[in-house]
Amino acid sequence: MKPYYYDNSKDIILTAKNEPEIPPRVEYNITDYGKTLSPIIDSMYQWGRQHMKTDNKGYCDEK
């Protein structure tokens, strides 16, 4: 199956640049439009912190 792609630059959240290296590497960057998702992602993070079990140490631990 061929991946679906459309070129509408205002809707792009991430850009990907293939680096011609061995082993292959892809560099991803968030666009200005993608950065508008920051408040939503932060809210999801805060919700997770509030609802995580107190005995479950892991990704959300304060550093």
Residues 2-15: pLDDT tens digits?
455 555 667 888 88
pLDDT tens string 18-57? 888 899 898 999 999 999 999 999 999 998 888 776 655 6
Spatial separation of the C-alpha atoms in residues 9 and 36, rounded to whole Å: 15
> What ranges in the chain are assigned the alpha helix state H?
32-35, 38-51
Say how many CA atoms lie within 13 Å of 25 toward its Cβ.
Answer: 6
- 3-class secondary-structure state, position 7: coil
- Which pLDDT score is estimated for 60? 61
28 beta partners: 16
pLDDT of residue 1: 47
Position 3 scores a pLDDT of 52
Residue predicted with more confidence, 62 or 38: 38
CA torsion 16-17-19-25 (nearest 10°) is: -10
